[in-house]
Amino acid sequence: MLSSRPATSWPSPSNRASIRSRAVQYPVDCHGLPLGVLGTARIPGTSRPDVTVVLVQCLWEDGTGWGSVLSYSTAKAGPKLLQVVLSLREGWTPTGAPAGGSVIAVRRGGFAIHVAGAKGNAPRCCLNVFATLSWQWKDGRFEEVGQQPKHDPGA
């Protein structure tokens, strides 16, 4: 497990998670590339009041890169990894958020993110598969809602 400092600090608006520790353990290996934290959000409506999801991304030179979604317990003892919800190996890069919105779309008991991937011989600069991936809390973990579109794997 890598211990990485986020490229950006944890957001602090009221709908975001409040994280006490700056040295969070991210189980992400970017193979020497910098790791950026694109967003965090507390997810209401789970069986735990302290579930926070974090969207991290290995940053390529052009500012893009494959992303991972991790869920944490943010109890007083400090952040503790609960689940790797989406890994780099799945080959999705976050595509951002609407103006003024969050990159993680929160709903009661779940969340969604907009992503892009590649299929066929598409180069990294020209991703050609776009999707909104969604998860819902069930039995103490996040389960993906629906199926991911066909695309090539990532890192």
Q: Which residue has the tokens 């929160």?
A: 106
Best CA proximity match to 138, nearest among 39, 29, 48, 9: 48
Q: How far apart are the first and last CA of the chain?
A: 16
Best CA proximity match to 17, nearest among 75, 87, 97: 75
Q: Are strands 110-117 and 105-107 parallel, antiparallel or unpaired?
A: antiparallel
Residue 34, judged by CB atoms within 10 A of its CB (0-12, 13-18, 19+), counts as middle
Best CA proximity match to 6, nearest among 62, 69, 45, 54: 54
Please tell me the pTM assigned to this model. Answer: 0.81
**For residue range 55-81, what is the model confidence (pLDDT) as tens digits?**
999 988 877 789 999 999 988 777 899
With contact defined as beta carbons under 8 Å apart, do 55 and 28 qualify? no
pLDDT at 142: 97
DSSP assignment, residue 46? Answer: S
Average pLDDT on 25-44 reads 89
Has residue 98 got a pLDDT over 60? no
Mean pLDDT of all residues in the chain? 81
Average pLDDT on 31-44 reads 90
Q: Quick one: what percent of the chain has pLDDT higher than 70?
A: 81
